[in-house]
Amino acid sequence: MTYILPVHGITPKFGEKCFLADNSTITGDVVMGDQCSVWFNAVIRGDVNSVRIGDRVNVQDGAIIHCTYQKAKTNIGNDVNIGHNAIVHGCTLENNVLIGMGAIVMDHAVVESFSIVAAGAVVLEKTRVESGFIYAGNPARKIKAISEEQRKLLEELSSRYVMYSGWYSKD
């Protein structure tokens, strides 16, 4: 069963048609939009600060979303894809973003719309990932502009996850 736990009397809130895998955990001050999916072993902790998530966001298997006590909230826009085992911590992800598998995005970083953080990349605190580019490495740095094919992927990928989550519907 999904673990949805209140913290200090605040219970997570979910939009319409969200999929929460049976072994995912969501705690505290978390507000999630419509058609989001939180996959197996993913954790979203709004226990020490707030987490705000837009529509059609997918938090893939083993990913962690957290924040920093009294210092860094986590804000995630619409149509964001957070890859397997990624860590998103106290930062802002704008719309149509892909955070690659195993990537880490740290406090007060901003990942602008239509950008990709490559698998395994580490986006350091207060870094700004520029719209339209791929960032990779440790520390992450601008590698190249996204292609038209990659831009199209950023426009479509979140809808695929809405479809995938429908496969698990209990209706």
As for how many domains the chain has, the answer is 1
Q: Are 128 and 140 in contact (CB under 8 A)?
A: no
Rounded to two decimals, what is the model's pTM?
A: 0.97
Residue 155: inside a domain: yes
CA distance 117 to 102: 10
Residue 171: inside a domain: no
- Give yes or no for residue 1 having a pLDDT over 90: no
Residue 136: inside a domain: yes
Tokens 């719209």 belong to 131
Q: What is the DSSP string of 56-114?
A: S-EE-TT-EEE-BTTTB-EEE-SS-EE-TT-EEES-EE-SSEEE-TT-EE-TT-EE-SS
* Residue-wise pLDDT tens digits, 121-163: 999 999 999 999 999 999 999 999 999 999 999 999 999 999 9
Domain span at residue 45? 3-166
Tokens coding 164: 């995938």
Assign residue 93 the CATH number of its domain.
Answer: 2.160.10.10
* Residue-wise pLDDT tens digits, 84-98: 999 999 999 999 999
Tokens coding 134: 């791929």
